[in-house]
Amino acid sequence: MREVVAVIDTGGRGTSLVDSYGKSPHIGEILAIPGNDFMQMVTDKKVQTFPRLATTDVEEIVGICKQRKVSLVDVAQDNAIAAGLVDELQKEGIRVLGPRKLSGEIEWSKLYSRRLGKKVGLLQPRYWDFESENEAIAFLRQQQDPRWFIKADGLAEGKAVLPAKSINQAVKRVSEIRKFGHSARTFLVEEWLMGDNNEEGEEFSTFYITDGNTLTCLGDAQDHKRIFNFDEGENTGGMGCSTPPLVLNTELQSKIQKDIFKKVLNGLASEGRIYKGVLYLGGMLVRINNELKPYVIEFNARWGDPEAQVLLPSIKTDLFELGMAVTEG
């Protein structure tokens, strides 16, 4: 009997996941929620989409997965994790590739992520959190460094990170961050990382998959977030991606696993938040005293986009078998 798998996603990342699951000989049908029309074109397996559903329609999604006897659900959308979809699916005994809501807070709250990073000793930018615009502006007016990032605490499709290259611009950004509504009720003011000779760092992304204990690297990539060339313009959810990033080497990859991923998993576990699924690190390599050091910029509690689109084709393991192995520990 062929298995049914559900992908909770849409867009390019979701299409790449459908393509990868479609290559598994175990799979007979793929449910894509909400999905898109292109998905059927990348696989010869049957694909059913649900365009009228949102990824946060938890009750409806759980009902569909029960009715269709889905063997594995891949929750690839951040707001679905924040809505507790994984928790509700697991209550029904449905296998899920993705973390529970509390573990996923490492993405849906930047403030929690920073506090956890501080607790376990990660290299990360200095940060200050605010709810009051006036308090944030007063803080900025007292600073000597002109460059800052203003970030919404909550989810905003990867867009609520506003760079500022002067104090006046940073003050303006504090007001602008409020356009992200509830996500920016709490917001962070973070330092702009600079290395030797006032050089900026270089971004990279690293993906691991874990059953809460064992860590397996899925690969590295480099996302390009600014809307214009030469790192100009606003941040977007991603303008394109390449793999592998030439800035990483074996020594750095080993350091990232030991000094970031293992510390984070242990830190989450110490709070009773066992993390199972794909964990994405958005990092920055900064040269300090002529040594490249990996700093944590953000975590994603799922497949990243557009990174998944360049990484998934390079994964030789059967994705369905990999997902099932995670759920089985």
Give the C-alpha separation, 123 to 296, whole Å. Answer: 6
Tokens of 298: 């953000």
**Phi first, then psi: what are they for 304, rounded to 5°?**
-85, 160
Which of 55-59, 231-235, 313-317 has maximum average pLDDT?
Answer: 55-59
Render the burial of 187-210: b for 16+ CB within 10 Å, e for the rest.
Answer: bbbbebbebeeeeebbbbbbbbbb
**Residue type at position 35:** G
84-125 pLDDT, tens digit each? 999 999 999 999 999 999 999 999 999 999 999 999 999 999
Radius of gyration of the chain measured on its C-alpha atoms: 20
Q: What is the pLDDT, as a whole number, of residue 224? A: 76
Count of C-beta atoms within a 10 Å radius of residue 49: 21
Q: What is the DSSP string of 23-91?
A: T-TTEEEEEEEE--GGGGGG-SSEEEE-TT--TT-HHHHHHHHHHTT-SEEEE--HHHHHTTHHHHHHH
**DSSP-based three-state secondary structure for 162:** strand
User: In this predicted model, which residue has the larger pLDDT, 242 or 257?
Assistant: 257
Q: Report whether the peptide linkage leading into residue 99 is cis, meaning its omega lies within 30 degrees of zero.
A: no
Distances 206 to 169, 291, 297, 303, 322 between C-alpha atoms, Å: 31, 20, 12, 11, 18
Q: What is the pLDDT, as a whole number, of residue 246? A: 86
The residues with which 27 forms a beta bridge, in sequence order, are 3
Q: What is the pLDDT, as a whole number, of residue 232? A: 75
Arithmetic mean of pLDDT over the chain = 94
Distance of CA 312 to the CA centre of its chain: 15
Q: What is the pLDDT, as a whole number, of residue 240? A: 77
β-strand pairing of 46-49 with 27-34: parallel
Contact residues for 150 (Cβ-Cβ < 8 A; gap 6+): 136, 161, 162, 164, 170, 173, 174, 176, 177, 187, 188, 189, 190
118-127 pLDDT, tens digit each? 999 999 999 9
Q: Is residue 61 predicted with pLDDT exceeding 70?
A: yes
* 159 touches 173 (CB < 8 A): no
